[in-house]
């Protein structure tokens, strides 16, 4: 080897300059993804018989980000320090999934998490644990045990109320029966006025018909319980026939029974007007007077195709019980049937304490549809509960 070549080789070894430069590979950052879980109180309990409120199922809503339709999502429960899958769903186009699950496991409040499987190049991802007891115990709960209404309830509007659209009916204790773990509200002929007829009129004072007087089941917690923001729910089985409507609703504290709603709002969680030729009519709405006068703003209305919320083909609104609820926040109302969202309303939000109302009313405008031979018609309520937002943990 020549002296010159030897010096070059020594220089390369000393400086560490390689003969061939190594290739570099950029590692792409993993896309951000997450799973969030929202917990609602136990507001899912379809069934054909009365049931204990404690056996209702908690509702969990999971949202996977980035959203993708069809991603498999598992609900997992923790038992004895280990996680196991208890339910599986697929996400919708918004990345959301709804689960109902047992509120208690092994005698204690259940703890859940959600796991979205690997999808489209994304690895699996899990949510943080969430307690089924996030809302705590309800501030109000009545399962209608015994043979009489509890002290929280009172009978409403025990007089004819033409300005409220019920000139031919009035609330009456005889139309309310507590038995077998339910309260039954009915529409009955009024025996005290059996030999008289009631005339109804339109807004222009023109007669619209002659009808039999009725008694209605109509009760509320007006003097005993109200709350501001939270979740209210009732497990209900409705009447079948038209001519009367069953309802679960709320009105603001301090409201005079004979006047409008000058503050807060009337929150109609559900109104059921009966089946008609196989088509059902169910509605959810919010009514609020504005400006301190008689001007009424109403939002919401008919729920399209309510049968999609039934448990199956053998289920109906008059043979099975279902839980109707509203989640009321300072920003909106979210209405649900057995935990499944039916309506979301962001206007007319009440910022005033509201009390609970159950009713089975025959309003003047319905009387042409009533079938005397089908009376009595009944609204059966298994339980009513309310969880104030201040309970939420």
319 CB contacts (<8 Å, ≥6 apart)?
48, 237
CATH number for domain 140-391, candidates 2.60.120.200, 3.40.50.720, 1.10.150.120, 1.10.3720.10: 2.60.120.200
> By C-alpha distance, which of 85, 130, 83, 77 is closest to 105?
77
CB atoms within 10 A of CB 15: 8
Which residues, listed in sequence order, are joined to residue 142 by a DSSP beta bridge?
A: 384
Residue whose pair of structure tokens reads 């053998």 in the numeric block: 314
- Is the fold of 34-131 the same as that of 140-391? no
Domain boundaries along the sequence of the chain: 34-131, 140-391
CA distance 366 to 247: 14
Q: Name the 3-class secondary structure at 53.
A: helix
Cβ(57)–Cβ(42) below 8 Å: yes
Helices (H), 255-389: none
Q: What is the pLDDT of residue 5?
A: 47
Q: Name the 3-class secondary structure at 337.
A: strand
β-pairing, 340-345 vs 333-337, is antiparallel
Which letter, b or e, does each residue of 200-216 get, where b requires 16 or more Cβ atoms within 10 Å of its Cβ?
A: beeeeeeeeeebbbbbb
Structure tokens at 263: 């503050």
Q: What is the pLDDT of residue 291?
A: 60
Q: What is the pLDDT of residue 263?
A: 81
80 CB contacts (<8 Å, ≥6 apart)?
none
The yes or no reply on domain 34-131 and CATH 2.60.40.10 is yes
CB atoms within 10 A of CB 96: 17
β-pairing, 207-211 vs 333-337, is unpaired
346: left (phi over 0), alpha (psi -120 to 50) or beta: alpha
Q: What does the pLDDT profile of the chain (393 residues) look like in tens digits?
A: 444 343 333 333 334 444 333 444 444 555 689 999 999 999 999 999 999 999 999 999 999 999 999 999 999 999 999 999 999 999 999 999 999 999 999 889 999 999 999 999 999 999 999 999 999 999 999 999 999 999 999 999 999 988 888 999 999 999 999 999 999 999 999 999 999 999 888 777 788 889 999 999 999 999 999 999 999 999 999 999 999 999 999 999 876 555 556 788 999 999 999 997 767 799 999 998 766 556 778 999 999 999 999 999 899 999 999 999 999 999 999 999 999 999 999 999 999 999 999 999 999 988 888 888 888 999 999 999 999 999 887
Q: What is the pLDDT of residue 289?
A: 74
């Amino acid at each position: 080897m020549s002296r010159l070549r030897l010096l070059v080789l020594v220089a390369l070894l000393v400086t560490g300059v390689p003969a061939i430069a190594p290739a570099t590979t950029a590692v792409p950052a993993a896309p951000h993804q997450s799973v969030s879980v929202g917990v609602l109180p136990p507001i899912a309990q379809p069934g054909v018989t009365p049931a204990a409120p404690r056996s209702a199922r908690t509702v969990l809503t999971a949202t996977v980000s980035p959203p993708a339709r069809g991603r498999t999502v598992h609900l997992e429960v923790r038992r004895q320090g280990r996680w196991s899958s208890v339910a599986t769903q697929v996400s919708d186009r918004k990345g959301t999934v709804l689960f109902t699950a047992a509120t208690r496991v092994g005698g204690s409040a259940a703890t859940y998490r959600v796991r979205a499987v690997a999808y489209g190049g994304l690895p699996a991802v899990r949510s943080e644990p969430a307690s089924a007891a996030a809302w705590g115990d309800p501030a109000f709960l009545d399962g209608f045990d015994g043979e009489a209404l509890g002290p929280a309830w009172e009978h409403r509007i025990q007089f004819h109320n033409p300005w409220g659209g019920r000139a031919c009916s009035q609330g009456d204790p005889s139309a309310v029966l507590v038995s077998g773990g339910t309260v039954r509200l009915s529409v009955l002929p009024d025996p005290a006025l059996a030999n008289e007829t009631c005339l109804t009129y339109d807004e222009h004072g023109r007669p619209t018909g002659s009808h039999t007087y009725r008694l209605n089941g109509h009760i509320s917690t007006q003097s005993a319980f109200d709350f501001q923001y939270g979740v209210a729910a009732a497990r209900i089985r409705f009447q079948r026939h038209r001519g009367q409507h069953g309802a679960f609703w709320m009105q603001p504290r301090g409201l005079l029974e004979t006047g409008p709603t000058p503050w807060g709002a009337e929150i109609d969680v559900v109104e059921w007007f009966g089946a008609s030729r196989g088509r059902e009519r169910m509605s959810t709405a919010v009514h609020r007077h504005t400006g301190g006068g008689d001007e009424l703003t109403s939002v919401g209305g008919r729920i399209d195709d309510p049968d999609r919320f039934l448990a199956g083909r053998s289920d109906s609104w008059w043979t099975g019980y279902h839980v109707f609820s509203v989640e009321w926040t300072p920003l909106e109302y979210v209405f649900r049937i057995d935990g499944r969202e039916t309506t979301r309303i962001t206007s007319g939000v009440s910022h005033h304490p509201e009390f609970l109302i159950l009713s089975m009313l025959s309003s003047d405008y319905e009387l042409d549809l009533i079938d005397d031979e089908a009376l009595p018609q009944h609204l059966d309520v298994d339980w009513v509960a309310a969880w104030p937002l201040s309970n939420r943990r």
